[in-house]
Amino acid sequence: MKLFKYIITGVLGMQLLTSCVDYLDKESDTELTLPMVFEDKTRTEGWLANVYSHVPDPYWGYARKLGWDILSDDMTASERWRQWDWKVIPMLLGEWTPSTDWDGNYWSRLPQLIREANIFIENVHPLPDQGISATEVTYMKAEMRFMIAYYYYLLSNTYGPVPFKPNYIAPTDFNLADLMEGQRPYYEVVDWVDKELKEVAEILPAKYTEARKYGRATSIMCLAVRARMLLFAASPLVNGNPDYANHKNKDGENLFSTTADKTKWAYAAQACKELIDAAEAAGHKLYTEKNDDGTIDPFMSYQNLFLTRYDEGNTEILFARPGGSEYGEYEKHATPAASGGSGGLGVTQSLVDAFFMENGLPINDDNSEYVEIGYSVSDETRDNTVWDTEVNGGTISKKNTYNMYCHREPRFYITVSYNNSYFTQEKRVFNFFNGSADNPHTHDAPQNGYLIRKKISPDLNVKQGTYKYRPGIVYRLGEAYLNYAEALNESDPGNGDILVYLNKIRERAGIRQYTTGATDDNFIHVDLNDQAEMRKLIRAERRVELSCEGIRYDDLRRWKEAENVLNGDFYGMNFSGKDNSSFYVRTPYLKRVYKKAYYWFPIHQSEIDKNDKLVQSPYWN
């Protein structure tokens, strides 16, 4: 391996540049200075690309490395995979301390990338002979400002209050003590990110015409991150939470707001609407596929939303991960072991229960027609889709399917693989009974009777190593609609836009929409002025529409519901069942532990030991 020597401003920069060797490659007897880097187009663009490297991976990142989907109550991984260093699995069981390592490593890595972005801003300049114009430099500097703000958002979203010096680069004669900063209050970071993203949105274009810039920062991405952050900042966890009244930094400052401020909901609603208006003006819309008669096919629309590229017409994407995602491992772990996969990445029973019935009602509604005992007596088909014939073996659900899974809404079938559902890869139904090919009763098997189907390509073939490219969607318009509906309901109950944007999601989902009028075959009556009822409906819609997209865990945190939802036994079908009577029994498979401390990641003990100006995250001491 070649040796590299870098001369830069500050010792920390030396550490940072070691992550950039691919584009700073030099012969071992030469020295590469910062001016030399930024006199070369390839190295300049390589530096910029590296700053993007910690944008979360919506597939394998949320499933394993960051673990947001596993930490929530959406997805479940085989508990015995911990022997292969799945670091989030012990966390589920309460085996979590300030000395626990986490693959996300935000506390260490994101400040390094923030510093790289600041160095880029200070040093980049036009290279007209190499095709970098002054306009391009303006855009690239704005991109780096976006990334700095985005990474501060991720830090504050994970740890709460963090050390905060956004434009600081250590000088060459720095003293180590100068770098030892304490935390600043949570809202100080949020307020700065808010203003910064608004300013940068005025500089960046809404979209690019060059394919090579796919995933690069846009004005829409700025507004999207801002809206999501402000929704979190308005929520009970951080908006006057009395649990944090005594959480102060070493200077005695309160690190969280001690008084609830309802105007934060109105500000979040405004930010969400600004995003929606700007996105729609730029041509973004919900992704749909149509039947021959012009109606929406809800099955194909929801399935292919996650498999269709932006340049193929999927303009619902507002923020995609540049460089793609690690979807191969995601799909492999959702494929049975006998079919070449690892077969233990599933969904929870609570998510199965959350999906609506075909008539748009939740399963616990007296009029839902939900049945949990017995089996279907015929194949189920529907006339609003081609998904059954083109993807699912000719049916929505097969004869002899457990009634729990029959006559559910379209998103259920796109999200969940259950026993006797269709396995497209091998053109057969799944058999999750103990001892079957799909359940060898090992760690590589569905521990609770389910595998994840959402974001899995029907063209997948793990045995042959066939994986179809798809975008890594970090933020989409569907989330923006639901964020706006929630913020409006909290700030302006009864506002008609609440139903407008909630119903846009339900229309695409192929289920009855809500109305203030009478219930009929197309609509369900709701009391729009009943804030508590609407809150329940909005949260229920978020649960299914945004499931397994890295969002649910933050929802449970910000609503202060994680302690209630993520504690105790998690259920599924009986992993050991060998026939209908023994398999179709709600059975505990995992006992989760969620303490009050877990709402925020702890600062790793090694960082606390190095810096006496830090205070540990709430309740971790």
pLDDT digits (tens, 9 = 90+) for 4-28: 233 333 333 333 333 443 333 333 3
- Closest to 362 measured CA to CA, from 540, 546, 545: 540
Model pLDDT, residue 9: 33
Average pLDDT of the residues in 75-82: 97
Whole-number percent of the chain with pLDDT over 90 = 90
Q: How confident is the model at residue 436 (pLDDT cuts 50, 70, 90)?
A: very high
Using the predicted structure, report yes or no on whether residue 612 has a pLDDT greater than 90: yes
Assess whether pLDDT exceeds 90 at residue 350: yes
Residues 6+ apart with CB under 8 A from 339: 423, 425, 426, 437, 438, 462, 463
Q: Is the pLDDT of residue 358 over 80?
A: yes
DSSP annotation string for 510-545: TSPEEESS---SSEEE--TT-HHHHHHHHHHHHHHH
pLDDT at 55 over 70: yes
**Mean pLDDT along residues 39-59:** 96
Average pLDDT over residues 151-173: 89
Q: What pLDDT is recorded for position 173?
A: 62
Lowest mean pLDDT among 163-172, 286-295, 402-411: 163-172
Q: Is the pLDDT reported for residue 30 higher than 50?
A: no
- CATH match of 34-66+103-257 with 3.30.70.100: no
Q: Is the pLDDT of residue 254 over 60?
A: yes
Residue 345, classed as helix, strand or coil, is: coil
Domain boundaries, the chain: 34-66+103-257, 327-473, 476-592
Q: Which one-letter amino acid corresponds to residue 26?
A: K
pLDDT of residue 16: 37
State the pLDDT confidence band at 307, using cuts at 50, 70 and 90: very high
What sign results for the dihedral spanned by CA atoms 527, 533, 536, 539? positive
Q: List Cβ neighbours of 333 (8 Å cut-off, separation of 6 or more).
A: 63, 77, 341, 342, 343, 344, 345
The predicted pLDDT at position 434 comes to 98
pLDDT of residue 483: 99
Report pLDDT for 4. Answer: 28
Q: How, if at all, do strands 346-347 and 428-429 pair?
A: unpaired
Residue 340: predicted pLDDT: 95
Please state which of the four CATH numbers 1.25.40.900, 3.30.70.250, 1.10.1240.10, 1.20.1250.20 is assigned to the domain occupying 476-592. 1.25.40.900
pLDDT band at 460 (very low <50, low <70, confident <90, very high): confident
Mean pLDDT of 304-308: 98
Name the band, by pLDDT with cuts 50, 70 and 90, for residue 35. confident
Residue 167's Cβ-count burial label (10 Å; 0-12, 13-18, 19+) is exposed
Residue type, 166: P
Task: Judge whether residue 222 has pLDDT over 50.
Answer: yes
Check if 34-66+103-257 and 476-592 are the same fold: yes
Distance between CA atoms of residues 251 and 119, nearest Å = 30
Q: Is the pLDDT of residue 179 over 70?
A: no
Give the C-alpha separation, 491 to 473, whole Å: 29
Q: What is the mean pLDDT of the chain?
A: 93
Query: Residue 71's closest CA among 603, 590, 607, 450?
Result: 590
Tens of pLDDT, residues 478-521: 999 999 999 999 999 999 999 999 999 999 999 999 999 999 99
